[in-house]
């Protein structure tokens, strides 16, 4: 049943086409989505009424900038949902260590939408492939943790190519009743993949991979057909963070993965749009979203290139009322010379030090230094 025609049309369109027609499609889709949440979610309705924002008045690209951002911490403190609970097919959780969990509620339509947009974004960036790969995922085994954001993402990403073996490094220990990182298993797996004729794709946290390589003085040649897809940032290991360019060169030297096959991904459980590196290593913003940068002082809009708080907008999710999400992440908008249209997203850290720990932190807790 197709009930949201503009959103369906948007997700059929090229994610990096920023022609007037495509931009209008995002506007129409966003309006369709905003009206749904306004009518179906009491908190959103009351908030927007109080701020005198009327979603019916979303009639130009410029109007999008007037949509109030809902603070990300509200989604950690409340269960916000715009459909009856029995319609939900998946609840994604980011496992915070400080007791603050983020959840995203997905009905079938929204789940189909997010899977579809993730695929078209990766395909447009040259990352989808019908040939088979061996996967090493530095995350939770989805058989045990399918509702965790990172496990969901990794399982999703492995579906964009053919699959041979998939190895999940964070495994459930039945005796201890907790997850643990199987470092020995990862090293054995990498060596097995190196010897295989099938190319490798590594999905994981950059800090974890960095420590695995340096601690074990690892030098392998996975071959020029292999890929590295990172995500989750260096959170919790920020003091060890090395510049992206240096990291990419290290991966080339120590794993033999070409620079243009090393792609980082930024995503948030509450937002769901993947921002993915192009071959030059810049995170591109698709036409399925808008990213605004706001002053931390008064939330006024900052011009391109200036550093401020990131405000994310999306339209694909009809079960989770987060079309306009104001985060505590700092960043700015940039440009890229790779030929893909649109702005790039440059991340510049988090406002407040350790307030909102996500699943990345939880996984990084496994690193024993």
Residues that bind Zn ion (CB under 5 A): 278, 280, 282, 336, 338, 340
Q: DSSP assignment, residue 261?
A: G
Q: How far is the CB of 125 from Zn ion (least distance, A)?
A: 8
Bridge-based pairing of strands 129-140 and 161-173 is: parallel
Which alpha helices (DSSP H) does 125-202 contain, by range? 142-145, 149-158, 183-195
Residue pair 177/335 in contact (Cβ under 8 Å)? The answer is no
* 202 vs 336, beta carbon nearer Zn ion: 336
* 14 vs 280, beta carbon nearer Zn ion: 280
Neighbours of 63 (CB within 10 A): 16
Q: How far is the CB of 333 from Zn ion (least distance, A)?
A: 13
Phi/psi at 110 (nearest 5 deg)? -70, -40
Q: How far is the CB of 335 from Zn ion (least distance, A)?
A: 9
Q: DSSP assignment, residue 97?
A: T
Q: DSSP assignment, residue 85?
A: G
Q: How far is the CB of 266 from Zn ion (least distance, A)?
A: 14
* 109 vs 343, beta carbon nearer Zn ion: 343
* 129 vs 280, beta carbon nearer Zn ion: 280
Q: What span, in angstroms and rounded, lies between the C-alpha atoms of 34 and 31?
A: 5
Q: What span, in angstroms and rounded, lies between the C-alpha atoms of 343 and 18?
A: 10
Kindly report the CA angle at 338 between 295 and 270, in degrees rounded to 5? Answer: 45
Q: How far is the CB of 279 from Zn ion (least distance, A)?
A: 7
Q: Report CA dihedral (237, 238, 239, 241) to the nearest 10 degrees.
A: 100
* 149 vs 281, beta carbon nearer Zn ion: 281
Neighbours of 124 (CB within 10 A): 18
Q: How far is the CB of 276 from Zn ion (least distance, A)?
A: 10
Closest CA to 46 of 12, 6, 80, 19: 80
Residue pair 139/150 in contact (Cβ under 8 Å)? The answer is yes
Q: How far is the CB of 305 from Zn ion (least distance, A)?
A: 16
* 104 vs 282, beta carbon nearer Zn ion: 282
* 111 vs 340, beta carbon nearer Zn ion: 340
Q: How far is the CB of 174 from Zn ion (least distance, A)?
A: 45
* 181 vs 278, beta carbon nearer Zn ion: 278
Q: What span, in angstroms and rounded, lies between the C-alpha atoms of 154 and 139?
A: 8
Three-state SS string over 21-71 comes to: HHHHHHHHHHHHHHHHHHHHCHHHHHHHHHCCCCHHHCCCHHHHHHCCCEE
On the 0-12 / 13-18 / 19+ scale of CB atoms within 10 A, 183 is: middle
* 183 vs 280, beta carbon nearer Zn ion: 280
């Amino acid at each position: 049943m197709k009930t949201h025609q503009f959103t369906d049309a948007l997700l059929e369109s090229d994610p990096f086409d920023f022609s007037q027609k495509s931009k209008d499609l995002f506007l129409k889709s966003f309006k369709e989505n905003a009206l749904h949440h306004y009518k179906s979610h009491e908190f959103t309705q009351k908030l927007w009424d109080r701020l005198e924002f009327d979603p019916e008045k979303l009639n130009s690209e410029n109007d999008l900038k007037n949509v109030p951002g809902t603070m990300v911490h509200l989604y950690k403190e409340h269960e916000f949902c715009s459909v009856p609970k029995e319609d939900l097919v998946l609840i994604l959780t980011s496992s915070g260590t400080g007791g603050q969990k983020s959840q995203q509620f997905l009905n079938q339509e929204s789940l189909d939408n997010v899977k579809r947009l993730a695929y078209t974004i990766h395909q447009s960036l040259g990352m989808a492939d019908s040939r088979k790969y061996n996967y090493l995922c530095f995350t939770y085994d989805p058989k045990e943790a399918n509702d965790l954001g990172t496990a969901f993402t990794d399982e999703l990403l492995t579906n964009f190519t053919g699959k041979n073996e998939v190895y999940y490094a964070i495994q459930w220990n039945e005796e201890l009743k907790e997850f643990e990182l199987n470092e020995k298993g990862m090293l054995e797996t990498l060596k097995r993949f190196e010897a295989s004729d099938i190319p490798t794709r590594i999905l994981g946290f950059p800090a974890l991979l960095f420590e695995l390589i340096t601690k074990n003085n690892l030098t392998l040649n996975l071959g020029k057909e292999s890929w590295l897809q990172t995500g989750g940032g260096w959170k919790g290991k920020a003091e060890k963070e090395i510049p992206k360019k240096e990291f990419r060169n290290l991966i080339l030297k120590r794993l033999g993965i070409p620079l243009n096959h090393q792609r980082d991904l930024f995503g948030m459980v509450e937002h769901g749009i993947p921002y993915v590196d192009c071959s030059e290593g810049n995170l591109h913003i698709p036409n399925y979203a808008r990213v605004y940068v706001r002053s931390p002082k008064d939330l006024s809009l900052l011009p391109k290139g200036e550093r401020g708080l990131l405000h994310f907008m999306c339209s694909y999710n009809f079960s989770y009322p987060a079309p306009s999400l104001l985060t505590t992440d700092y960043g700015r908008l940039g440009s890229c010379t790779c030929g893909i249209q649109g702005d790039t997203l440059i991340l510049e850290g988090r406002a407040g030090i350790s307030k909102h720990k996500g699943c990345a932190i939880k996984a990084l807790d496994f690193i024993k230094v």
